[in-house]
Each structure stands twice: as structure tokens, then as C-alpha cells.
A and B are shown apart, each in its own frame.
Chain A
Amino acid sequence: MANTLPSTGPRAVVPPGDEPDAPRGRLAEQRGTPGLKGTLAKIILLGAVDALAVFALFVLFMQESWLVFAIAALVTLIVNYIYLKPGALPAKYLAPGVFFLVIFQIFVVLYSGYIAFTNYGDGHNSTKEDATSAIISTSQFRVPDSPTFQLTVLERLGEYSFLVTDPDGEVSVGGAERPLEDASNAQTDSNGKAVGLEGYTALTFADLLANQSEIGALSVPLSDDPNSGALRTPDGSRAYLYASTLQYDEAADSFTNIETSEVYRDLGDGAFVASDGAELVPGWKINVGFENFARAFGEEDIRGPLLGVTLWTFAFAILSVASTFVLGLFLAIVFNDARMKGRKFYRIAIILPYAFPPFLSALVWLGLFNQDFGYINQVLLGGADIPWLNDPWLAKASVLIVNLWLGFPYMFLICTGALQSIPEELTEAATVDGARPWAVFRLIKFPLLLVSVAPLLISSFAFNFNNFNIVYMLTGGGPRNIEAGVDAGATDLLITLVYKVAFGSGTGRDYGLASAFAILIFIIVGLIAAYGFKRTRALEDLN
């Protein structure tokens, strides 16, 4: 949306007398004579792009990311085709923009659309394989009070063995499926640590590193009794005795708690679940269909305050647009008058709020509004005790005031631009016809102004509808009505409420639910914007 709107501004500014044929003629001329420098530059730049593309393709090939590889190859071919083919000038101009549009907008939108249909979030963060291996590794507990074994890892015929020395100096050797057995014939170093055994090769640290995934996964049973635990090594030089609290059965795809014999199964909910509903942590990411949307409507934290928050969101967006537009327009008219002295200076000063990052301004305002220490109460109002941010209605007003301060320079800019594009003759003609200044403004300037500004007002509405920064930084949605029992405050917009519900409470961040909400809010804003644009088309007919 933001990409298409700015073109409306310049269009209004272009004088109607411009001949469209002239540039086209020049372009044709240019196309006929590419010139040596131009061709050379084209070859070099395209070569650089291709070199990078080939490098990226190579990396993707090595990583076996076939889908991304195919897409990257296709894009490279298309880019080369576009820039090597004579003519096709519009494609040459549009290609980079389209490329970035796809990467940064379309892909992101589609991806959040996809996330809305999954349970992605805290606790469901990755694949089932990752979750299974995480559960296996966290269920290995070191046997209490068990000793530390000095370890040398041995290798024979491609199989690894642990040569361990216990604190009493007893040496034993064992491997996967081969419980420890006595190895008192081992060579030891000066500290009594066994470092080698006949028939085996001792691994150096570099060997250990090269094979660390296998060695890290190696589990050597202490004895024939599987309940006595197994030795594992975290660092290759020491081994500890571990016992597992959960047994993974690969064939049945289930975990069994060794103490309670409770069985945890994958029942399609993205986690291993016991018969009493207890889940093993972590779970994994699965597709859940429309469940997130059902929750979006069913969630008590959302449903309760929904009406109030929706009304305030509309009020906030409409009042923000209206107040910034009125103030911006007023200032634009004032500074558009040639009799005004020092216009340049004022214009620069007015644009300043627009130049500050909004979250920084919000924090500064937070300090200004402080009830006991803020500049507004202490200095401007001479020590008043006005609870600017602590009273529900005053907090609403404060948010609007800050947003007015942040937003009017933008409106001032676009109104100034639009006003300057309205030919001065129209005003003169009207004045000659006897119209007063107010009538000139109301009947001539304002309708012409709206033609170019109305689409921007709609986009400003959409922006303020989701103006997360200012509310989050200034009031955090508060003050909260503590007795209502829900986590919604007086200044919460839909977007901040959604943020709290999806990221702030209970089970942690829930990207699936957040994406579902984002889609719902998009639908609301999209419908309003579509209706608004339809109405502005009527305005354009005026022109």
C-alpha cells in the first residue's frame, strides 16, 4: 500500500501542460545507441551479480536446499534475460523493485499467513526430531553421588570404546552395548589415568573433535543390569554415570517414564502426551488448521474487552488522523502565505518532530507527563497534580496529544506540497469574482487538496489503526482496570492487546495465534481502506 501511494502526490504536482510524447522519443533515441561505456558497465555489473548468484547457488547446493536453489537459479536466469535482451525497458526498471517486493513483502505476508495455521511458538519451536532428541538429552540425569571417571576414548575397527579410570584407580573398558569390563593391563600416565590399551588406538583431542557427534552420543552401560546407568562424556576427557528417567521406544514412537511407567504418545497434538494429558517438553511444530482463528474468537482475554478496545482503536485512528490533518493543514496554509516572514526557518522547525524516532519521542513524553516530576505538571501548570497517564480518560488524551505532536509535520508536508500545486490563478480568478478568502478555501482549494491528500489520509488511518509504538512506549496500554481481571488497559489498541495475548501471558509467545490475529486485523483495515479508496475515486472525478 505504502508503495503505491506516494505516486499520487507527484502526479498532482506535475503541471498538466507536460507533453508525454517528448520523453518517449528521447528514450527511443537512447535505446538505439547504447554506447561503449554503457555496455561495458552493464557487462561488469551483470557479471558481478551473476558471480554472487553462482556463489549463492553453490552454497545452497552444498546445503541441499533444493527448493531455494531452484528459485535462486530461476531468478538469476530471469534477471540475465531481462538485462541482456534489447528493449524491454519497463522490465529493466521494474525488475529490482519487484525482486525486493517479493522478498520483503510478499514472502513475509505469505509466511505469516502460513504461520497462522501452525502452532509455532514457545514450546513448539522446531521439528519432531529436534524435540525427541531434546527430550532424550534432558531426561539423562547424572546418578547422584556417582564418581567422575577419567576417560580416554579408544578406537578399534571403526568402533569407539571408553577407557575409564575411577577415583580408586580401577581401570575398565567398554563400548556401546558392551558393558564395562576390567582392563587393568592398560598403560597409565604418571597420575594413574589409563591412557592406552593394547589393540586399541587412543584418540587425540583433534580426533575427538572430528568425531564428536558420535562420541557425544556414545553411551557405555556400567554393567549388564540396564538400570545401573550408562557412562557418557560431555567433553571427551571425563565420563559420568547417567541414568535416564524416560525410555524412548523408536518403533512405538513413545516415551515411557521409567519410575511411573506412564507412557507418552504422539497423538497428533504436536507433543508427546500421557493418558492424563501431561505433555513432555518441548513439543514440535505442526499444522493446526483453523484452530488459531477459533482461539482468536474464543479467547476470554480477547473477547471480554474486545468491544471497548475496538471502539477506542477506531476513535484513536480517526481522531489522530483528524487532529494531525487539521493542525497540519492550518500550518501549511499559514506558511504558504507569502506575507509570512521567516517561512523557511519555521518549516524546518515544524518538521523536527517528524525527524525524531517515534519511540524516542514517546519516552521523552513519558517523562514530561510524570504526575509528580514531569515538566508539564511541575513547570507549565505550576505544580499541579494531574494524573496524565494514570487516569483512563486523561491517558487516552495524552496518547492523542503525543500522536498529534508526532503526526502533524507529516500532514503539514503533504498539505504544503498539495497547496503549492494548486495554480495561483484559480485563487486570483475567484477573488476577482468577489469570493472571500474562506469561500476560496472551502470551495476551491480544499476540494482540490483532497484529491491528492485523501489517499494519504486513508493510509494514515491504517497506520494509526496499528500504531503499536506510541501506545506500547507511552502507556503500555495502561492504566489497567485491575478489577476487570483481563490484561487490557484504557489505551490498548487491538494490536497491543493482541501482542499481550499472543506474547505476554501464560504459555509464552504464540506466533501462530499472533499471525491469525494479524490476518484478522489486516482484513478489518483492508476493508476500510478499500471502501475509502472507492470514495476518493469519486473525488478524482471532480478534477
Chain B
Amino acid sequence: MTVKSHGSNPGRSRRLVTTSAIAAVAALALAGCSTGAPGAGDEAPAEDTGTLTVWLDADRLDALEDVAARFKEDRGITVKLVNKDFGDIRDDFITQVPTGKGPDIIVGAHDWLGKLVQNGVVAPLELGDIAGDFQEVAVTAMSYEGQTYGLPYSVENIALVRNTDLAPEAAATFDEAIATGSGLVEAGTAEYPFLVGLDPAASDPYHLYPLQASLGAPVFGVDENGTYDAANLALGGAAGEAFAVKLAELGASGVLNTNISGDIALEEFNAGKAPYYLTGPWNLPAIKDAGIAYAVDPIPTTGDQAATPFVGVQGFYVSAQSENALAANEFLVNYLGTEEVQTALYEVGGRAPALLSSFEAAQGDADVAAFGAVGADGVPMPNVPAMDAVWADWGATQVAIINGQGDPVALWQAMVTSIESKIAG
């Protein structure tokens, strides 16, 4: 059929176009094959200068250009910065390292670590004497089963953002905050007593975790190395069930509403419709732009313990199959671990630095200081692979409890059983 229809259009020009098109496509295909082929293996023998390939996203790429140039000057090693979408880095790294064509270094989040170790794609990193120069929570987050794997560079966590026009005083307990908020709603000056972005299908256990932690129910117990022990699920028990009851209560009174997504929560807070908003520093620029007068407070407690948020740490990892391991270690520990670079990364991304000296320097920014103070008590988000099994059940159960679909305690117990059986495999 196709041949005939071409034949009915005589003339050499048409045929030429077709042939060129075919050839061009074929050429592209071959080019595709060949550009994919030469990997780190070809570049290694290059006499006295090696190449370090680093995968990072656009923001951090700009921040690292200077230090990469300096590394080249000092050490004669070219640092090739490759722009990747942050969300793709983890999975691409896991797939590509075993082929020998992966990068030497990636930027990543600390909760990827369990999965990277499980797949044997990340090499331990000895921070040596500089380990003490970082915030402790950052180094703990970059460790798995007692071994340190990454160079941390930023630390972030959520806190309670308060509209100071509506609520001039910080609340110590969650009940106080809700009472203030409900008072404002009744008075007609606010529409919501409290805002937090949730998902209709998955809730948001990350944002709700401080309320749970305050009642004394962490996710996992901690082993003697100070890292999370997947075999020791601590969600259940009386403390966890107390949280379930609390969730049901907050859902019934409309304080928590799974239809208020992250976008809606931000929009409503920016419209001045709520006194409190549980969120992270990433939403501050929008809140400032909206002209809201705000303060950043510690998260009010629901129980007798501190309402500690999860701390998220980002950092750099070295590939287990890097052929430039020495150079990669040198670059991370002695260049990226310096105050200058950590401060530059902070200035570009706005995430609080993990290095203490840079963190001190960033204290001039009141928001960084306030979020940092809340995060100082925080625990790293679990980085064990078993966490994958927790998120889905945890979120779906919270949705059911908030929407009053069953007895909260029974739902919570069913969730714990289900997660335990998934972790056990």
C-alpha cells in the first residue's frame, strides 16, 4: 500500500526526499547507538586527567560550576556536571551503575539510601575528621546500618507557619492552636482553624507525623547503631492507637480534611483564611509573595512528647563502581564539604546547609533559623527499604480514619498487621 502511494507521486525530488529521510533516520539511530556506547571505561585511561561525572538537577548544577572549575584547576580532573530531573536520578542510578555506564557521583535524598544499598550501587564514604563539622542529624541520615554513605549538604523539615495578623501568640499545644483557630472561625475572621495539605487517596503521613510522634509512636525502633531497625515496627501499640483516635476526632471536627490538597492549603493560607499552616520552607516564598505576615513556630504538641518532624537530608553519593573513586572522594570530602560550597548551595537552593559553619552563617535569615530550630529535635525520615511498605498503608488508613470510615483503633491495628506482613515479605 505504502509503496503504491509513493509510486503515484512521480518525480525525482520526491524520491530524493524519501531517501534522505530514510538515511537521516538511520544515521540518527546509529548515532544514538554510538553515543550510548562509550562510557566511563573509555575515559579512564586518559593519561593524567580523569573525568568525574556528576548527575544533578539544574539548580545545583549552577551552584557547582565554580567548584568544578576549581577542582579542574587544582587537581587536573574534569568534573562533568550532567543535568537530570531530580526525580529520575535514583532509579536511573540503580539501573545504570551495574552496566558500568553510570555516573561517579549523584545528588540525592537521604531516604533513597536504603534502596541504593540494597542494590549495591553506592559506596561507603569516609567523612573522616569533617564528620563532626556537620549537623548530627544530617550525618545520621546519610548512614545506613552503621556505615556512612553520603556527604550531606542540606537539611529541611516542616514547622508551623502562623499568620501573625490572625494569631499573634504561638500555641504550645495542638488543642490550644485549634481552640484559637476555631475561635477565629466563629468570629468570622478565618475560614479554617488549621491547614495542612493532604491527598484524598493517600493523606500525607509525612506532614502528620509530628502529631503522631508527640503521642509517642515513631515508625521504627532504633538499633544500637542509631539507625532504624525495619524489624522493629513501632507504629502500633497504645501510642499509635491514641493517634488514630486523635485523627478521627480531628477529621470529624473538620480540622483535617483530605480534600484540602497541598495546592489548596497554600492558596487558602495565602488568602489569609487560616491562622496556622503546617508546611515546609519550600512554601515560604509564595507566602511572602502573598504578603502574609507570618512567624515560624515549633509544631504544637498533641501528647506529652515533642512534636518532632521528619528531617529530610540531601547530599552526594559515590557510585560503587566508580573507576575514579579516589578522585570522587577527594571532590566530595575536600571540596563539596567546605563552607564555601555549602553556603553557595544554600544561596541557590534556599535549603538550610548541613555543614554547621554554613548553617551558623545562614542564621541571619530568620526563617532558616526558625525551621532549623524545629529540625534540630527532628529525626531523619527512615531510609530503610521497608519504608516503601509503610507509606501506602499508612496514608490510606489515615484517609479512612479522617473520613470516619470505621473504628479508628481497629483500622490502625489492621494497618500495623498489614505493614508487618509486607515487611516480613
Q: Report which A residues bind B (CB closer than 8 A).
A: 7, 10-11, 20, 22-24, 26-27, 30, 35, 37-38, 41-42, 45-46, 48-49, 52-53, 55-56, 59-60, 62-63, 72, 79, 89-90, 92-93, 95-96, 99-100, 103, 122-123, 125-127, 130-131, 133-135, 137-138, 140-142, 148, 205-206, 208-210, 212-213, 215-216, 233-238, 240, 281-282, 370-373, 389-390, 475-476, 478-480, 482-483, 485, 487, 489, 500, 504-508
Contact = CB atoms under 8 A, between A and B. Distances in A.
Interface in B383-425: 385-386, 388-389, 392-393, 396-397, 399-400, 403, 405-406, 411, 414, 417-418, 422-423, 425
Given A505-B422, A508-B115, A212 B8 contact: no
B23 A45 contact: yes
Contacts of B397: 482
Which residue among A35, A52, A72, A123 has the maximum number of chain B CB atoms within 10 Å of its CB?
A52
A63 B119 contact: no
Contacts of B124: 137-138, 140
B278 interface: no
Contacts of A53: 30
B227 interface: no
Enumerate the 3 nearest inter-chain pairs by beta-carbon distance, A residue then B residue, closest first.
A134-B120, A45-B23, A126-B98
B41 to A, nearest CB: 7
A11 B4 CA distance: 12
A125 B121 contact: yes
Contacts of A60: 37
Contact of A30 (B15, B128, B201): B15
A505 B392 contact: yes
A23 B7 contact: yes
B392 A141 contact: no
Contacts of A371: 200, 259
Given A38-B16, A103-B29, A237-B330, A478 B325 contact: no
Nearest to A24: B7
A100 B27 CA distance: 12
A89 B3 contact: yes
A277 to B, nearest CB: 11
Contacts of B19: 38, 41-42, 45
Nearest to A369: B200
B382 to A, nearest CB: 14
Nearest to A216: B325
B16 A478 contact: no
A206 B120 contact: no
B325 A212 contact: yes
A456 to B, nearest CB: 17
B388 A505 contact: yes
A70 to B, nearest CB: 14
A206 B411 CA distance: 62
> Dominant SS at the A interface?
helix
Contacts of B288: none
A240 B126 contact: yes
B10 interface: yes
Given A125-B94, A482-B414, A508-B385, A208 B326 contact: yes
B418 to A, nearest CB: 6
10 contacts: A22-B8, A45-B23, A49-B23, A89-B3, A210-B47, A234-B325, A370-B261, A489-B201, A506-B425, A508-B115
A215 B154 CA distance: 31
Contacts of B411: 482-483
A252 B385 CA distance: 30
Contacts of B48: 206, 209-210
Given A52-B31, A125-B119, A130-B321, A209 B326 contact: yes
Given A140-B124, A215-B326, 10 more contacts: A41-B19, A49-B27, A59-B37, A138-B147, A205-B76, A212-B324, A234-B326, A281-B118, A282-B118, A483-B414
A93 B326 CA distance: 52
A243 B270 CA distance: 55
Contacts of A63: 37-39, 41-42
B126 A142 contact: yes
Contacts of B39: 63
A508 B26 contact: no
A142 B422 CA distance: 33
> Dominant SS at the B interface?
helix
A230 B143 CA distance: 22
Contacts of A236: 326, 330
A87 B303 CA distance: 85
Contacts of A489: 201
A442 to B, nearest CB: 31
B37 A213 contact: no
A533 to B, nearest CB: 18
B260 interface: yes
A99 B95 CA distance: 26
A149 to B, nearest CB: 10
A360 to B, nearest CB: 15
A135 B120 CA distance: 8
B120 A485 contact: no
Contact of A45 (B20, B95, B418): B20
B18 to A, nearest CB: 8
B29 A100 contact: yes
A140 B333 CA distance: 19
Nearest to A52: B30
Nearest to B393: A487
Nearest to A42: B19
Nearest to A132: B120
B343 to A, nearest CB: 23
Contacts of A89: 3
Given A23-B7, A482-B406, A389 B200 contact: yes
Interface in B104-155: 115, 117-121, 123-126, 128-129, 145-147
A135 B146 CA distance: 14
Contacts of A137: 123-124, 320
A42 B16 CA distance: 8
B187 interface: no
A42 B22 CA distance: 11
Which residue among B4, B97, B323 has the maximum number of chain A CB atoms within 10 Å of its CB?
B4
Given A22-B8, A89-B3, A238 B128 contact: yes
A411 B16 CA distance: 36
Which residue among B202, B258, B327 has the maximum number of chain A CB atoms within 10 Å of its CB?
B327
Contacts of A209: 48, 50, 77, 324, 326-327
